[in-house]
Chain A
């Protein structure tokens, strides 16, 4: 069952409420705030903000970790209702409250609406540039089971070509991968 609501604002609100309930029941009492432009209320940006309206990473005591979450959302008409499209998300773990400090680990997604030419895996995980040397008892890349979501063969092929510079067998490699992904989606129903 997909998430739908009567108005564009309602569907954005339902999703935000769901995220805050989950966060507040499991991890932190800070709440994500959700900003809309009054003249374009089907588009929203969601994050933790301080009282000056500056985005922050919130503390997760007693650990040294801080969490920042950003979602860019679009409400889209679905029949008589409105559904929700996630345009981009960023879930980041930092060692300070400043989002300007490079995250130790970040789980991110970039939709085709945001960047149609993004050549990398749209769902991906990235680490601090010093991750290997910074490995410690509380953050060892060889020990942690870092969540990724399902990784398909197409994802792995895209990673090898776009990130590791393995030469593709055809210039149409992206179109070939998209066709393969579409076929897999049809099989899954």
Chain B
């Protein structure tokens, strides 16, 4: 699955990117992005993340707390959940 064009551009020369702040993604593009974030921070696939989200089973550390990146990554993944 491919990331959207805006996210495949080369690294910008400055942190200003005023032309691509609003990015509308197809379901396929959004799944690729969720997958990239889930693998980077949670060590699981995007599909497994969505399954855990539906079942309300967060990934936790040995003290029972959600992993730090769980919240931010799920806030993106929830765009894929149907009402």
Interface pair A34/B75, CB less than 8 Å apart: no
Task: Name the B residues within 8 Å of A36 (CB-CB).
Answer: 22-25, 79
Contacts of B23 in A (CB 8 A): 33-36
- In the complex, 23 of the A-B residue pairs with CB atoms within 8 angstroms, ordered by the A residue number, are A12-B22, A31-B15, A32-B21, A33-B17, A33-B21, A33-B22, A35-B23, A36-B24, A37-B25, A37-B80, A38-B25, A44-B79, A51-B10, A51-B12, A52-B7, A52-B36, A55-B73, A72-B75, A88-B71, A99-B41, A99-B69, A100-B67, A102-B68
Known: A54-B40, A90-B75. A31 touches B21 (CB 8 A): yes
A28 to B17: give the CA distance in the assembly, Å. 13
- CB pair A40 B79 closer than 8 Å: yes
Give A20 to B20 CA distance when docked, in angstroms.
13
Cβ 8 A contact of A35, one of B10, B25, B63: B25
Report the interface size for chain A: residues with CB under 8 A from the other chain.
45
Interface residues of B, Cβ cutoff 8 Å to A: 3-4, 7-12, 14-18, 20-27, 30, 32-33, 36-37, 40-41, 63, 65, 67-69, 71-73, 75-76, 78-80
